[in-house]
Structure 1
Amino acid sequence: MRKVKIALSIFLVIILLVGCTSSKPDATIPAETDSPSASAAEAKIINLGKEVELASMDSAIATDGLSFEVIAATIEGLYTIDAAGVPQLAMAEKAELSDDGLNYTFTIRDAKWSNGTPISAKDFEFAWKRLVNPETASEYSFIMGVAGVKNADAIVAGEKGIDELGVKAADDKTLVVELDRPVAFFNSLLAFPSFYPINEAFYKEKGAQYALTADALLANGPFKMKTWEVGGTTFYLEKNPDYFDAANIKVDGLNYKVIKDTQQSILAYENGDVDYVTLTGEQIVNYQQSPEYHNIVAGYLWYLSPNQKVPGLENLNLRKALSLAYDKEAIVNDILKDGSIAASFAVPTLLATGPDGKDYRETARTFPSTDKAEALKYWELAKKDLGVSSIKLELLFEDTESATLVAQFIQSEIETALPGVTFELKSQPKKNRVELMQNGEYQVGLTRWGPDYADPMTYLDMWTIGNPNNYGTWENKEYDDLVNSASKGELASKPNERWEALKKAESIVMDQAVIFPVYQKGNAVLIKPEVTGIEFHSVGVNIFYKNADKK
């Protein structure tokens, strides 16, 4: 990348873990493998325990970490990310950049889809135009504008047609991309699933069923989907023999099992049914001394999003009262115990390095965290503002064990600290929770955001007017002007001034209690010693399996 720092993009490559055992596939795994020399008993299958269902395999529709993880295991874009978090050429064999930093020419390598169709520059043009097409209603359409692709924002806003997007397949092997401004982290963004290719003929053949079942998917990456149904509790990826680098893929398949109950997931791990699980709460204490235990710093920020269309939540004093009324340190130390840290910020630590070479949080403002006495003062002011003595709100959260425990604790803390405030709990599967928040059909929601690229803007642009991730529908023109200037306006080419503008933008978010931060996620996981080469990242796609192996 030209003059790019993947600013403290945290990674962990699980390597050289001791011990070897023979492995055989789980009974739910298809008996066939793609390796002609491997019998079912000899197949190398990594069994992965996950706490949520796979929501989407459509690269234009997916919004959550697990979906991005699985999509990235089956599809590669122009770039991929290596173990050190550095973008490397993937479907692009060569990339040329003009001197002014505004024009990229990519040469597509000789590779093919899992149905034998050659990968074409047209696959990228089609996918990118579909992403920004308002009819697609992609929650990630904004990211094309973040990447600086010419006319992207105007197309998303419905002001220009999709054919005016700055991407063109000059021929089957040549993709030309025009930017409206130089973007330092452009190559890194191209490794993100939103920029992955889609075969137009296959997409049109499948129609409304595209990406809803294993048969309605194509792969050009290390693995391909063998079995999956939306909402199912198991799905299986098998090695893709048509992948251009298939000779270096060491495992025959990835077998995913959705196990929401953490006790059941631990039991499955101890019984050898899964090779990988995430730990929570007391389990972490029990396994911290195990050589199979690993703590991974993650970039996810968990926070409460108040819907300001709900009567009462438009009041700043009420929002400030709620934001200060729960003990974040108790959440990370007594409930999660997984290396998470209490969050009193909108931009996480260890995300991005500024022009001064320091982590963003080192020089950004500090904000109040928990202050129950101050919270009570704000609640008294809110009651006067609203003319009420009590208020009842609904707290929406997903049905994982950790989210449930955190929601229950926040409910107890707020109701105790703010007499007259009642929180009713509403648990939903993750996909439903996200849909309710996207549609504005909630009051207060416990949600999270993971960084798509190593810059504070990956968080800050979420709270601009009209951004689909601005669940609470907060509006502030001063904020929008500041963010727009820092992302694509006058400040975009002034690194020092831009950095200070980002800090100011975060201060506005925090001072206006647009969100109520809870914690920055840490992941405590168990990995069987015979499994190696899983790569973890805090930015973009969180887990890659291309170099995984099982002895």
Structure 2
Amino acid sequence: MTRLFLTTALVAGLALPAFAVQPAEGEKLAENQSYTFWLLDAIKTTDPQKNTDVEGSDVLRQLFEGLMNEDGHGAPVPGVATGFDLSGDKLTYTFHLRPEAKWSNGDPVTAHDFVYAWRRLADPATAAEYAWYMELMNVENATAIVKGEKKPDELGVKAVDDHTLEVRLTTPTPYFPKMVTHPSTFPVNQKVVEAGGDNWTQPGKLVGNGAFVLKSHDLGVQISMDKNPEYWDAANVVMEHIKGLTVNDNNVALTRYQAGELDRVQIPAGQYPRLKEQFPDQATSIPFSCTYGYLMNVGEKGPEALKDARVRKALSYAMQRDVVVNQILQGGQKPAYNWTHWAIEGFQMPQIDYASWSQAERLEKAKALLAEAGYGPDKPLKLTLQYNTDESHKRIAVAAQQFYKPLGIELTLNNVEWKVHTDRMQSGDFQMARYAWCADFNEASTFLDFFRSTGMNYGGYSNPEFDKVMDQSKTSEDPNQQYTAAEQILAEDMPLVPIYHYAKVDMIRDDIKGLPTMNVMNNWYARNIYRIQK
């Protein structure tokens, strides 16, 4: 067995303590230690095993804590676990849990809580959309359990004792420690979940093990949290109160930031250059591991036209990414011709042929492909694009209408609220849909596994060759070979129109410190944040 601990790299040695908040030299803490952040949409659930949203994950990282957290660069560091042993065959992880970890009701956090949560995630009875994540982690028997072929108690995870958790994998997975920073793997208190039923996540009932506790939640308006005195490292948590405000209009949210109601807000499309000049210490842009695109429904409920790869390619080729990035967004985003974000650790960007063409060449090819597929002036291609409420989504969608119009493509726009948008995608009730995938962990497979036949894959895409390549990547000494092949298959099949790779473009108060700026995942922990005197 190899004993490992977690810092910015995995190295042999002893377990390290967690990193306490340390104000820089010359900084003095403000009396007011509160932080208010912006939410575009309502937090649908605060149940770790049922959440699917990025914003929901931001909240869950405050209310719960997993085996590991991330440091400012995105590397795994101790959470509930102080470290782990890895077996010689690299198939068994033995995590050592800190005995001082408690739930917010004072109960000890034990290995049994993780076993319960992981079984709950895989159990079909939970109906967790992220059940597939347990499969991606390669936990023993996960696939059979998700399919209903084995019982949840056969999952390859067990409590050796209260403070020792053993996880058995089916194949070596070098990035496994990164995967257990994801909220779907966070523990839950079995007694509380079973006593509360569907209402266990309500304020006053939710019991977490994170640095903060849920104070109130007015769905679609605000969610507020207070410092958790039972948190094992509460003595080093400076922030006392955090709040998320839901504002569906990004421009209104910016106005509320300027009025002092928010401490962090996304900068609306096109406004970064102006705000950076006016507020250089507040306007920020850093790489963010998400890719934006238009997902095409090639499944049973999808339109016949989109079952033709020539049509899908034409839609991608005709997308004018440079206009979107340079004229609409203007915040440091990059045009996307592939799925995996360029800044993911270790990822080698493949050579995608149409990425090197001029836009004029792409348009000519798009026209030719549409003609081959039987579409033209006498038979226009009619499609509907669904997108959720947001000014930048609207501006890009309106631009797409104009990009496609000269090709004889009539694109109808359908704006719906976030919950309706996600419900329709999950049920396959759409033709084209605005979509973005944000990495669950800092490794390329988190993007590519999405398009597996068994992945989230709302568009119903399925290619056995793609699945085979991704299977091979799991045991490859150099998985970038398989990732390149997978990206090439996607470029040939084109199940979505990739549009841009994200940058995190925000206004952040200059008295707020401790937010990560070097982590492409942009995962943040309020226990690391503090406010200084100005």
In the other structure, the counterpart of 1:495 is: 477
Q: Structure 1 pair 4/515, CA: closer, same or farther in 2 (3 Å)?
A: farther
Contact map agreement 1:452 1:541 (CA 8 A) in 2 = no
The question of 1:368 aligning with 2:354 is answered yes
In the other structure, the counterpart of 2:17 is: none
Question: For 1:243, what is the secondary structure of its paired residue?
Answer: coil
Q: Structure 1 pair 14/531, CA: closer, same or farther in 2 (3 Å)?
A: farther
Once residues 101 and 5 of structure 2 are traced to their aligned partners in structure 1, the CA distance between those partners, rounded to angstroms, is 26
Question: For 1:77, what is the secondary structure of its paired residue?
Answer: coil
> Of 507, 516, 528, which residue of structure 2 is paired with 1:526?
507
Once residues 526 and 263 of structure 1 are traced to their aligned partners in structure 2, the CA distance between those partners, rounded to angstroms, is 12
> Of 220, 225, 232, which residue of structure 1 is paired with 2:214?
225
Q: Structure 1 pair 242/526, CA: closer, same or farther in 2 (3 Å)?
A: same
Give the C-alpha shift of residue 299 in structure 1.
0.8
Question: Across the two proteins, how many residue pairs are aligned to each other?
Answer: 508
In the other structure, the counterpart of 2:420 is: 432
The question of 1:380 aligning with 2:362 is answered no
> Of 442, 460, 465, which residue of structure 2 is paired with 1:478?
465
1:275 maps to a residue whose letter is D
Contact map agreement 1:21 1:530 (CA 8 A) in 2 = no
Question: For 2:482, what is the secondary structure of its paired residue?
Answer: helix
Consecutive aligned runs of 4 or more in structure 1 exceeding 4 Å deviation: 1-7, 13-22, 536-541
Deviations 1:145-193 (A, max 9, x none): 2222111122112222211110011232221111112211111111111
In the other structure, the counterpart of 2:58 is: 69
**1:83-122 alignment, distance < 5 Å:** 83-109=72-98, 110-122=100-112
Once residues 521 and 158 of structure 2 are traced to their aligned partners in structure 1, the CA distance between those partners, rounded to angstroms, is 25
Question: For 2:271, what is the secondary structure of its paired residue?
Answer: helix
> Of 273, 276, 292, which residue of structure 1 is paired with 2:264?
276
In the other structure, the counterpart of 2:38 is: 49
Deviations 1:431-472 (A, max 9, x none): 3212211110111001000111222211111111132x2111
Deviations 1:183-213 (A, max 9, x none): 11111111111110011110011112233x3
In the other structure, the counterpart of 1:136 is: 126
The question of 1:509 aligning with 2:490 is answered yes
Once residues 527 and 19 of structure 1 are traced to their aligned partners in structure 2, the CA distance between those partners, rounded to angstroms, is 17
Once residues 484 and 388 of structure 1 are traced to their aligned partners in structure 2, the CA distance between those partners, rounded to angstroms, is 44
> Of 172, 178, 191, which residue of structure 1 is paired with 2:181?
191
Once residues 418 and 312 of structure 2 are traced to their aligned partners in structure 1, the CA distance between those partners, rounded to angstroms, is 25
**1:210-249 alignment, distance < 5 Å:** 210-211=200-201, 213-230=202-219, 232-249=220-237
Deviations 1:230-252 (A, max 9, x none): 3x211111111111001111111
The question of 1:326 aligning with 2:319 is answered yes
The question of 1:411 aligning with 2:392 is answered no
2:437 maps to a residue whose letter is W
Once residues 529 and 60 of structure 2 are traced to their aligned partners in structure 1, the CA distance between those partners, rounded to angstroms, is 16
Once residues 51 and 14 of structure 1 are traced to their aligned partners in structure 2, the CA distance between those partners, rounded to angstroms, is 31
Q: Structure 1 pair 94/352, CA: closer, same or farther in 2 (3 Å)?
A: closer
Q: Structure 1 pair 328/15, CA: closer, same or farther in 2 (3 Å)?
A: farther
Question: For 2:127, what is the secondary structure of its paired residue?
Answer: coil
Give the C-alpha shift of residue 21 in structure 1.
9.9
Question: For 1:368, what is the secondary structure of its paired residue?
Answer: helix
Once residues 140 and 541 of structure 1 are traced to their aligned partners in structure 2, the CA distance between those partners, rounded to angstroms, is 20
Question: For 2:384, what is the secondary structure of its paired residue?
Answer: strand
Question: For 1:495, what is the secondary structure of its paired residue?
Answer: coil
In the other structure, the counterpart of 1:151 is: 141
Question: For 1:409, what is the secondary structure of its paired residue?
Answer: helix
Deviations 1:268-311 (A, max 9, x none): 12221111111023421221122211112101001111101322
Identity %: 28
Question: For 2:480, what is the secondary structure of its paired residue?
Answer: helix
Contact map agreement 2:5 2:84 (CA 8 A) in 1 = no
Once residues 415 and 251 of structure 2 are traced to their aligned partners in structure 1, the CA distance between those partners, rounded to angstroms, is 19
Contact map agreement 2:36 2:264 (CA 8 A) in 1 = yes
**What is the RMSD computed on CA atoms of the aligned residues?**
2.5
Once residues 124 and 521 of structure 2 are traced to their aligned partners in structure 1, the CA distance between those partners, rounded to angstroms, is 24
Deviations 1:47-90 (A, max 9, x none): 21232222321111211211111101111111111112221121
Give the C-alpha shift of residue 506 in structure 1.
1.0
Q: Structure 1 pair 121/20, CA: closer, same or farther in 2 (3 Å)?
A: closer
In the other structure, the counterpart of 1:39 is: none
Once residues 458 and 61 of structure 2 are traced to their aligned partners in structure 1, the CA distance between those partners, rounded to angstroms, is 26
Once residues 4 and 313 of structure 1 are traced to their aligned partners in structure 2, the CA distance between those partners, rounded to angstroms, is 47
Contact map agreement 1:281 1:334 (CA 8 A) in 2 = no
Once residues 237 and 196 of structure 2 are traced to their aligned partners in structure 1, the CA distance between those partners, rounded to angstroms, is 29
Question: For 2:218, what is the secondary structure of its paired residue?
Answer: coil
TM-score (norm 1): 0.87
Q: Structure 1 pair 157/215, CA: closer, same or farther in 2 (3 Å)?
A: same
Q: Structure 1 pair 215/429, CA: closer, same or farther in 2 (3 Å)?
A: farther
Deviations 1:299-338 (A, max 9, x none): 1001111101322110111111111112111101111111
Question: For 1:360, what is the secondary structure of its paired residue?
Answer: coil
Contact map agreement 1:451 1:538 (CA 8 A) in 2 = no
Contact map agreement 2:288 2:502 (CA 8 A) in 1 = yes
Contact map agreement 1:331 1:406 (CA 8 A) in 2 = yes
In the other structure, the counterpart of 2:338 is: 345
> Of 247, 272, 276, which residue of structure 2 is paired with 1:259?
247
The question of 1:451 aligning with 2:439 is answered yes
Give the C-alpha shift of residue 262 in structure 1.
2.8
The question of 1:301 aligning with 2:288 is answered no
Question: More deviation in 458-467 or 324-333?
Answer: 458-467
1:514 maps to a residue whose letter is P
Question: For 1:431, what is the secondary structure of its paired residue?
Answer: helix
Once residues 3 and 43 of structure 1 are traced to their aligned partners in structure 2, the CA distance between those partners, rounded to angstroms, is 33
| Structure 2 gap segments, 5+ residues each | 11-20
Once residues 429 and 44 of structure 1 are traced to their aligned partners in structure 2, the CA distance between those partners, rounded to angstroms, is 33
Question: For 1:297, what is the secondary structure of its paired residue?
Answer: strand
The question of 1:58 aligning with 2:64 is answered no
Q: Structure 1 pair 161/258, CA: closer, same or farther in 2 (3 Å)?
A: same
Contact map agreement 1:18 1:530 (CA 8 A) in 2 = no
Give the C-alpha shift of residue 512 in structure 1.
0.8
Give the C-alpha shift of residue 18 in structure 1.
9.8
Deviations 1:451-505 (A, max 9, x none): 11222211111111132x2111112112112212222xxxx1x323x32122111
Q: Structure 1 pair 448/143, CA: closer, same or farther in 2 (3 Å)?
A: same
In the other structure, the counterpart of 1:29 is: none
Question: More deviation in 165-174 or 70-79?
Answer: 165-174
Question: For 1:313, what is the secondary structure of its paired residue?
Answer: helix
Once residues 492 and 123 of structure 2 are traced to their aligned partners in structure 1, the CA distance between those partners, rounded to angstroms, is 35
Once residues 97 and 105 of structure 2 are traced to their aligned partners in structure 1, the CA distance between those partners, rounded to angstroms, is 18
2:365 maps to a residue whose letter is E
2:500 maps to a residue whose letter is Y
Contact map agreement 1:19 1:530 (CA 8 A) in 2 = no
